[in-house]
């Protein structure tokens, strides 16, 4: 059964996500140019907080879009996250539905989190309506398996 791809704004967690400080500093320098003072101080604070967060939680949450197709589940980072992260365009995944072993949800701050296990690897995404979206992923998995 062919279905329309379903997309949602989401964040995906990546253990290897790191800020590209050169690009981030451009953002803060631009802010100072347009009259928002303290860019260097804010940049230093943001960098320290994100490093601590990454160490504690095992990675950073990267904003973008998830799309559920008939045969796969895809995350693509948005343009801002591609710009501010080292190797930002590589912070993506494309998981064939037939390779997904489990789909679980757990509570998160503001939005629930969907954990998808694929052969000893886990990808996690957070979005509004996560429980319903996780159920749609499970349904698509069953349909892909029977196709």
Same domain, 41 and 97: no
Beta bridge partners of 94: 74
- Cβ-contact 103, 122 below 8 angstroms: no
Reported as a single tens digit per residue, the pLDDT across 35-94 is 666 666 666 677 778 788 788 888 889 999 999 999 999 999 999 889 888 888 899 999
Beta strands in the chain (DSSP E): 6-14, 60-68, 72-77, 93-96, 100-106, 112-118, 121-127
**Across the chain, what does the average pLDDT equal?**
87
Q: Rounded to 5 degrees, what angle do the CA atoms 2, 89, 116 make?
A: 50
User: Residue 43: its pLDDT value, please?
Assistant: 66
Question: Which pair of structure tokens corresponds to residue 34?
Answer: 């347009």
Please count the other Cβ atoms lying within 10 Å of the Cβ belonging to residue 131.
9
pTM score: 0.83
Same domain, 136 and 100: yes
User: Residue 59: its pLDDT value, please?
Assistant: 87
Confidence of residue 113 (pLDDT cuts 50, 70, 90): very high
User: Residue 76: its pLDDT value, please?
Assistant: 98
The domain that contains 110 carries what CATH number? 2.30.29.30
Q: How far apart are the first and last CA of the chain?
A: 8
| Domain of residue 129, residue span | 1-17+60-147
Of 63, 64, 73, 24, nearest to 45 by C-alpha is 24
Among all chains, which residue has been given the structure tokens 């303290």? Answer: 38
Same domain, 81 and 145: yes
Question: Which pair of structure tokens corresponds to residue 69?
Answer: 């197709």
Length of the chain in terms of residues written: 147
């Amino acid at each position: 059964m062919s279905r329309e791809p379903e997309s949602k704004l989401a964040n995906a967690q990546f253990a290897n996500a790191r800020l590209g400080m050169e690009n981030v500093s451009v953002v803060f320098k631009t802010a100072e140019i347009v009259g928002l003072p303290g860019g260097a101080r804010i940049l230093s604070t943001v960098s320290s907080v994100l490093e601590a967060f990454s160490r504690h939680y095992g990675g950073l949450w990267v904003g973008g879009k998830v799309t559920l197709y008939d045969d796969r589940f895809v995350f693509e980072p948005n343009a801002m996250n591609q710009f501010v992260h080292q190797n930002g365009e590589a912070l993506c995944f494309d998981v064939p539905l037939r390779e997904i072993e489990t789909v679980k949800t757990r509570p998160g701050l503001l939005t629930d989190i969907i954990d998808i296990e694929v052969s000893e690897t886990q990808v996690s995404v957070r979005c509004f309506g996560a429980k319903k979206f996780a159920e749609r992923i499970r349904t698509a998995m069953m349909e892909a398996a029977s196709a």
